[in-house]
Amino acid sequence: MKTLLRIVIGLLAALGAMALAAAGWLAASGVSARPEPSAFEARTARAARHLLIPRASRAAANPVPASPEVLARARAHFADHCASCHGNDGRGDTGLGRGLYPRAPDMTLPATQELSDGELFWIIENGVRLTGMPAWGDPGAEGGEESWELVQFIRHLPELTADEISEMERHNRVSRAELEEEEEIGRFLAGEEGKEAEAPEPHRH
C-alpha cells in the first residue's frame, strides 16, 4: 500500500512539475503565433499525432492507384482547396502558411513523405487539432476517394514540374482585389466603361 501511495505521489508531483513548466513556457513566449515552434515541441507534437491516429488507419493502403488522370484531378483539387496554405508546390511558402502555428510543413521533406498513406489520408479527412489543418472529410460519406487521390499527389510533390505548377495556377482561388480587377475587365469588354476608356491590364498569376 505504501509503495502504491509513493507511486501516486510521484506521478502527481511529475504532473505538477510539467504543468508549472508549461505555464512558465507560456508566460515567457506568450500566445503569439509568430515564433517558430521549438524542435522539442515539433518532435513531441508529431509523436503524439502518430500515436493518436488509430493503428488500423495508419496501416490502411491507398485503394486509388496513381495515374495521369488521378494526378490531374488531384492537382486541380489541391490548387483550389489546399494551395492557399501549402502553396502549389506543397512547400508551405505562402502568407497563410508562414502565419500558422505550427507553420504549414514543406511536404516534400521526409517529415511528411515518410508518413504512411493511411496517416496522410486520416490527416486530410480528420484534420489536426490546434493547428491550421481542417477536417476536409465528410463524416457521412464513405470511401474518401478525393482524399486518397490527394495522397497520391502528395507523394508526387518532390517530382512536381514547372509545367504542372503553371497548370495549377489556373485553379488557384483569387483574392478580392483580383476579383474586382477581373470584374472591371468584364465591364470594359461589355462596353460599360465607354468607347473612350482604356482597357485595364489583364491579371496574370
Q: How far is CA 196 from the centre of its chain?
A: 47
Domains of the chain: 35-173 (1.10.760.10)
CA torsion 149→170→108→51, rounded to 10°? -50
Mean pLDDT of 136-165: 93
* Residue 104 near residue 92 (C-beta atoms within 8 A): yes
Q: Which residues contact 167 (CB under 8 A, 6 or more apart)?
A: 75
Range of 32-36, 59-63, 136-140 with top mean pLDDT: 59-63
- ∠ CA 162-163-164, nearest 5°, is 90
71-119 pLDDT, tens digit per residue, is: 999 999 999 999 999 999 999 999 999 999 999 999 999 999 999 999 9
Beta strands in 76-130 (DSSP E): none
> Could you count the other beta carbons within 10 Å of the beta carbon of residue 133?
19
Distance, in Å, from the CA atom of 170 to the CA atom of 203, rounded to the nearest integer, reads: 12
pLDDT interval class at 4 (50, 70, 90): low
Task: Give me the pLDDT at residue 110, please.
Answer: 97
pLDDT at site 5: 67
pLDDT at 95: 94
Sorted by sequence, the CB contacts under 8 Å of residue 50 that are 6+ apart come out as 58, 119
**In whole angstroms, how large is the CA radius of gyration of the chain?**
23
The chain-wide mean pLDDT, for the chain, equals 86
pLDDT at 9: 78
Percent of the chain scored above 70 by pLDDT?
78
**For residue 26, what are the CA distances in angstroms to 19, 21, 22, 30, 38?**
11, 9, 6, 5, 13
Taking 80 as the threshold, does the pLDDT of residue 141 lie above it?
Answer: no
Is residue 198 over pLDDT 90? no
Spatial distance between the Cα atoms of 53 and 182, rounded to a whole number of angstroms: 44
37-82: pLDDT as tens digits: 889 989 999 999 999 999 999 999 999 999 999 999 999 999 999 9
Global pTM reads 0.73
pLDDT-derived band at 189 (thresholds 50, 70, 90) equals confident
- DSSP three-state, residue 204: coil
Q: Cα separation of 55 and 167, whole Å?
A: 37
Whether residue 37 is preceded by a cis peptide bond, meaning omega within 30 degrees of 0, is no
